Structure 1
């Protein structure tokens, strides 16, 4: 049997017990999944953290103040900073975020500000990564690895494409990242195709809302 971490993204607390019962080994909390996910309420974080701690399941939270693009102004960055502090105070294991410039490159100043707030938490750079031009993604991997980010959540291409069509680029990213930072494939991964994707890419973690089946 293939052994790898299965991260399930969930919109609210009510799905968590069933997801864990069906084999989820990490939970990512994100409201409004239809728009790529935004930050859940403090109450959801609180109850989810208590339950996941009881089950020894790591818990991550999306830090995103709104849907739309990933270009944030100073006020939005302050909101994100406060949400990071709440996540840490409530006992979450990590956060999921991403900031870009108008040129669709990593907003290094914004990321450094938020990473300082996130000290002691795991950090995943989310699918904002897929908006970065392919030829610039390798530099982005370098920067994120150098700044202590643990993993990059990526579909390997446009989310409208089935993940089977982005596997070649995902493999390039996995091979380039090597042991410096984890590439976390996501978007269109289900309980039906997860094993084959893991075997093809050789990754240790996969992400999806249906990776442990329907909830």
Structure 2
């Protein structure tokens, strides 16, 4: 099983890897859901994780809040993605929506093209897409080479356990064209049960492994 540890900066990365994390999602500002970490943080994390053979997915997000970005914000994301790729990140994590709640196809096409050669995770912006269009969104993202979708299977205030039926439907629809990565509310205690119920072998969270504090 791949336990993806959501890390805020470098601080807990060594302990998380020691505790069994097999992939790192690297962010800053987890209080707002994660933003792009600094170049120095990316470099140090890649250096440490690389020695251990652990891939790093770097968050590309200019601010907290919604996922509707203006041209300036998209320019920032584009530059940050180019920098992260230059430094050697294994993958990037992003998501852009339109005011109607659909994928911002133009913005995504630019970022996906720039990320060529990297793993791409479409993050929990997915959960802000109306459920009636989520299958369609999976189709679009799979067709455009996205590696995985990080999703809670429902609004952020809901329990991951109550969202398991919908997550199963998303996984069935994805049909291995990309990976549905469950996250938010998954911890070291419940991860084995959740991946077993869903029939997946990857899960994501800030508490996915037990780190001694």
Report if the CA contact (8 A) 2:6-2:27 is conserved: yes
Instruction: Answer yes or no: is 1:16 the counterpart of 2:18.
Output: no
Please list the CA deviations of residues 41-70 of structure 1 after superposition, one character each: whole Å capped at 9, or x if unmatched: 010001001111111000011100001110
Distance 1:166 1:33 in 2: 22
Task: For residue 179 of structure 1, report the CA deviation from its aligned partner.
Answer: 1.3
Distance 2:98 2:62 in 1: 16
Please list the CA deviations of residues 68-118 of structure 1 after superposition, one character each: whole Å capped at 9, or x if unmatched: 110111111111011111111111100000000000110000100111111
Cross-structure match for 1:198? 195
Cross-structure match for 1:138? 135
Match of 2:2 among 2, 5, 12: 5
Superposition misfits of 4+ residues, deviation over 2 angstroms:
none
Cross-structure match for 2:118? 121
Instruction: Answer yes or no: is 1:71 the counterpart of 2:72.
Output: no
RMSD: 0.7
Task: For residue 162 of structure 1, report the CA deviation from its aligned partner.
Answer: 1.1
TM-score by length of 1: 0.97
Distance 1:112 1:57 in 2: 28
Task: For residue 214 of structure 1, report the CA deviation from its aligned partner.
Answer: 3.6
Cross-structure match for 2:171? 174
Aligned length: 212
Please list the CA deviations of residues 121-176 of structure 1 after superposition, one character each: whole Å capped at 9, or x if unmatched: 11000000000000100000000000000000000001111100100100000111
Match of 2:82 among 81, 85, 89: 85
Structure 2 residue runs of 5 or longer lacking an equivalent are: none
Structure 1 residue runs of 5 or longer lacking an equivalent are: none
Match of 1:157 among 147, 154, 177: 154
Task: For residue 12 of structure 1, report the CA deviation from its aligned partner.
Answer: 1.2
Distance 1:213 1:80 in 2: 32
Distance 2:177 2:114 in 1: 22
Task: For residue 29 of structure 1, report the CA deviation from its aligned partner.
Answer: 0.6
Task: Give the SS at the match of 2:161.
Answer: helix
Please list the CA deviations of residues 154-207 of structure 1 after superposition, one character each: whole Å capped at 9, or x if unmatched: 000011111001001000001110110100000000000000000000112100
Distance 2:106 2:195 in 1: 34
